[in-house]
Structure 1
Amino acid sequence: MGDRGGRRDTAVLFDVDGTLMDTVYLHTVAWWEALRQYGERAPMSRVHRGVGMGSDHLLDRLLGDDRDHDRDSALSAAHDALYAQFWTRLAPLEGAADLLRACAARGWRVVLASSASERELRVMRDALGADDAIDAVTTADDVDASKPSPDLVARALERAGVPASRAVFVGDAVWDAEAAGRAGVRCVGLLSGGMSREELTGAGAEEVYEGPADLLARLDRSLLADPGPPQRGPRRGARAE
């Protein structure tokens, strides 16, 4: 992950689950089953809407803040064990590795900012196969507060070594857009995690693309190529349909 030269004053911060890896619905199933094991019921549609935030926030959303918090660790452990059954079959989204390499080739610093644990992120990085394009990573193990708190984005900025005005966050969930906004970083949304265009733009994403391959095809017309002060209205290159 050494310096590749070029324009190193700009960084692209990437969420991983649902943004680079096709894992959102695997997490949905794992949380749904973990809840069932402890006698809780939540429809998958609600579980899915919480994927991408930290487990503490997700459980607040599904079970309420007045729940028995003593079970949180057990619920998270059950989710982790269920999700780990898919590790050997994890797959990147189309164009994900090529997108990271294209950003690196343009001299932009590439940082992964994931709510996953360090161990879980290592498994996803192995499946993604693009470590040659990654400058730094941040995980849930590096911060005290999870998304939609801005802590993860702020730590990613520190590791990128650029100010918020020279970075763009790419994510698939409203929690990504909210965390980026709270950290003063502009956001590009992807539909590959199953959230709608309206949800992402409502949370603060300035551009929305179908997935990594779509963003890659329009990379030089996207917000990533020209970060700067936020502006109102659609930018050229944004997908509006």
Structure 2
Amino acid sequence: MTAHGARSRGAALFDVDGTLVDTNYLHTLAWWQALRRHGHDVPMARIHRAIGMGADRLLDAVLGERRRRTEDRAIADAHGALYAAWYENLRPFEGATELLRAVAARGWRVVLASSASEEEVAAVRGLLDADEVIEAATSGGDVDATKPAPDLVETALEAVGAEPEDAVFVGDTVWDVEAAGRAGLPCIGLLTGGTTRAELEDAGAVLVCEDAMALLRRIDTSPLRRPSR
């Protein structure tokens, strides 16, 4: 709880990849190529299912926990280099920047809560052109355990001094929904990452929208209409 028992100002936490910027399939391709370089032929469908986790959890998911962990850093570095080649081609989803500004205009503190590397978060943050309303941002390097663990969500809340009961999370994967739920936040799911409506709802999403623009259009009937304080 905040000092002297005062309620914190509401926080709107946003995942980045697949939620605000169209990157999930590029991440899938980059991980596929990085894994192949190290002798692992993993179907892209399996990799895509793990997108949204940090590198630690993703490699557990696609290679198993008994893998050779000594090569994890080399695989992750290869992914980062391969993905970086796409930076100049990355594009925000329609309505993403406008959504962040509309949320801030309604009194929310806007936080980017991503499991990606600090460099990757910086690259996509620049595309959003909304720094004036983004109060904080996290990356996978800020915590020991990434999504679906709640650590990143909790770190994002701490960055702006917000409590779970005063916050909402927006994401595109079941890992976002699960991480938010474990941290005590409701989660709005978007379909732009390639996860189905049923999967997001089954994971616990309180609302599922087609994309950022669809959420923007119904913002005033959504959990983002206005913070309670």
Q: Structure 2 length normalisation: TM-score? A: 0.94
Letter in 1 for 2:218: R
- How far off its partner does 1:225 sit? 2.1
2:138 matches 1:138: yes
Deviations 1:135-161 (A, max 9, x none): 111111211111111000001111122
CA distance in 2, matches of 1:193, 1:224: 20
Letter in 2 for 1:107: G
Letter in 2 for 1:55: A
CA distance in 1, matches of 2:189, 2:160: 20
CA distance in 1, matches of 2:119, 2:79: 15
What is the aligned partner in structure 2 of residue 176 from structure 1?
Answer: 176
Deviations 1:33-92 (A, max 9, x none): 111111111111111010000111111111111111111111101111100000111110
CA distance in 2, matches of 1:167, 1:158: 11
Consecutive unaligned residues of structure 2, counting only runs of 5 or more, are 1-7
What is the aligned partner in structure 2 of residue 20 from structure 1?
Answer: 20
CA distance in 1, matches of 2:206, 2:227: 11
CA distance in 2, matches of 1:149, 1:164: 15
2:30 matches 1:30: yes
Consecutive unaligned residues of structure 1, counting only runs of 5 or more, are 1-7, 229-241
Query: The residue matched to 2:176 in structure 1 has which SS?
Result: helix
Q: Percent identity?
A: 58
Query: The residue matched to 2:25 in structure 1 has which SS?
Result: helix
Residues 187, 207 of structure 2: 8 Å contact kept = yes
Q: How many residues align?
A: 222
Equivalent residues in 2 for 1:38-187 (5 A)? 38-187=38-187
Query: The residue matched to 2:9 in structure 1 has which SS?
Result: coil
Query: The residue matched to 1:224 in structure 2 has which SS?
Result: coil
Residues 18, 24 of structure 1: 8 Å contact kept = yes
CA distance in 1, matches of 2:224, 2:84: 33
Query: The residue matched to 2:88 in structure 1 has which SS?
Result: helix
Q: Say what the alpha-carbon RMSD is for the aligned residues.
A: 1.4
Deviations 1:11-34 (A, max 9, x none): 110000000000000000000111
Give the direction of change, closer, same or farther, for the CA distance of 1:227–1:42 in structure 2 (3 Å limit).
farther
CA distance in 1, matches of 2:102, 2:170: 14
Residues 22, 192 of structure 2: 8 Å contact kept = yes
Q: Structure 1 length normalisation: TM-score? A: 0.89
CA distance in 1, matches of 2:62, 2:122: 28
Residues 168, 227 of structure 1: 8 Å contact kept = no
Residues 165, 227 of structure 1: 8 Å contact kept = no
Deviations 1:167-223 (A, max 9, x none): 000000000000000101110000000000011111111100001000000000001
Residues 18, 172 of structure 2: 8 Å contact kept = yes
Letter in 1 for 2:12: V
